[in-house]
């Protein structure tokens, strides 16, 4: 494995995250430099210091490294001693952002008025250089908008697949649904600028901002007042075998935010896919296919296939079979640092098909392999509130998580609650 597996160590050129020690407790009225390990304090020491303020952390407590009188963890140069606490990840700019990319949902006329309002405000009020897709200017509905005509010539344009936006964009604003954010991720296959996503689409699980008071919200972000969720991405590489006597084809290399899906395509036969983890064959998948997803993608296709929902700050990869022909094949979660290898089994009756965040669908032949691991380039998604609140709000509003009618209370406790296990129904009836 190379350094690409340690996405927590990524240094995004657009943002810095202030790190707060997640495992220390500081006396409220004491020296701010004095800190305590809460689990190592005795009761007397806690009482002596009276009031302790627990620093918020999304990390689990660090385990001790001494095991009994003789055992301990062997230290080596590859050991990660400090992990960024997700709760401490906040956006700050080392210089004022000047360029902003505005991406809007396509084929949706309801997004046009907010789009015109936003780009006009960014240009006239914030004096920013605004980039949009060239196809946006070709929209006939915008051509009839008189207010848009005043800023049309001041917009910078690009075309996907032709123009390179790397190092040209300081900030991204998405207007639409989750697919709009996935498209923004696709545009930046390395470092991604901070993304602010407004909910103007269908689902909106990844779009926490409402557009009503966009001026105040965008201003807060431009001033550096925002929490960040670093959404990990998967680096996917297809290694082609190549025809006999011909050199191997160059590999396909893509980063995905949600998932990579390997399925049987149009074939009527079961998929027969071999799965390797860090070079070890762990299982063969017989069914409709396999989903490999990020924690962000665990609430997308994977959850529909029976996977658990994982908070995006958890460093993990979710592996979910699609309709497996086995009662015991359940979804599994593996560490973010492993490398997966997926290939068509030699005795498979058919080839497989692979897609990346629902795009770039292509065939996977016998002898080809798909390598998947966690990328060092996450998507820094700006939070409306914070990392925890945003996620649970999305679960409740978009997926209606754990929604049911509440059980009614009883006016009086039943006599059954006071009965013993030896009482019979007949004896209880007689007593009543």
Active site residues: 178
For residues 264 and 270, give the distance between their C-alpha atoms in angstroms, rounded to a whole number: 7
**Cα–Cα distance for residue pair 319/293, rounded to 1 Å:** 7
């Amino acid at each position: 494995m190379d350094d690409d597996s340690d996405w927590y160590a990524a240094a995004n050129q657009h943002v810095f995250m202030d790190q707060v020690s997640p495992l220390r407790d500081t006396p409220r009225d004491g020296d701010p430099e004095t800190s305590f390990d809460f689990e190592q304090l005795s009761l007397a020491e806690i009482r002596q210091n009276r009031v302790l303020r627990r620093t918020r952390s999304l990390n689990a407590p660090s385990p001790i490294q001494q095991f009994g009188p003789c055992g301990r963890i062997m230290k080596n140069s590859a050991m990660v001693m400090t992990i960024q606490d997700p709760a401490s990840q906040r956006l700050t700019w080392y210089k004022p952002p000047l360029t902003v990319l505005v991406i809007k949902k396509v084929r949706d006329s309801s997004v046009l008025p907010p789009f015109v309002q936003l780009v006009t405000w960014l240009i006239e009020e914030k004096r920013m250089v605004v980039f949009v897709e060239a196809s946006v200017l070709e929209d006939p509905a915008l051509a009839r908008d008189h207010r848009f005509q005043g800023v049309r010539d001041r917009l910078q344009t690009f075309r996907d697949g032709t123009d390179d936006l790397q190092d040209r964009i300081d900030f991204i604003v998405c207007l639409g649904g989750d697919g709009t954010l996935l498209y923004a991720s696709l545009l930046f296959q390395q470092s991604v600028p901070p993304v602010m996503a407004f909910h103007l689409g269908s689902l909106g699980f990844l779009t926490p901002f409402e557009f009503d008071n966009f001026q105040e919200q965008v201003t807060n972000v431009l001033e550096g007042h925002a929490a960040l969720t670093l959404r990990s991405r998967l680096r996917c590489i297809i290694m082609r075998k190549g025809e006999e006597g011909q050199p191997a084809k160059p590999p396909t290399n893509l980063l995905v935010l949600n998932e990579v899906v390997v399925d049987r395509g149009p074939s009527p036969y079961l998929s027969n896919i071999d799965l390797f983890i860090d070079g070890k064959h762990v299982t063969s998948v017989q069914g409709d296919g396999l989903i490999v997803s990020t924690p962000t993608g665990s609430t997308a296709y994977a959850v529909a296939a029976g996977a658990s929902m994982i908070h995006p700050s958890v460093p993990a990869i979710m592996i979910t079979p699609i309709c497996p022909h086995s009662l015991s094949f359940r979804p599994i979660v593996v560490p973010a640092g492993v490398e997966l290898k997926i290939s068509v089994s030699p005795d498979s009756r058919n080839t497989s098909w692979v897609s990346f965040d629902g795009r770039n669908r292509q065939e996977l032949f016998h002898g080809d392999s798909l390598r998947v691991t966690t990328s060092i380039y996450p998507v820094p998604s700006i939070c409306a509130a914070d990392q925890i609140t945003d996620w649970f709000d999305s679960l409740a509003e978009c997926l209606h998580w754990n929604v049911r009618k509440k059980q009614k209370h009883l006016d009086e406790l039943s006599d059954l609650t006071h009965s013993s296990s030896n009482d019979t129904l007949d004896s209880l009836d007689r007593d009543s």
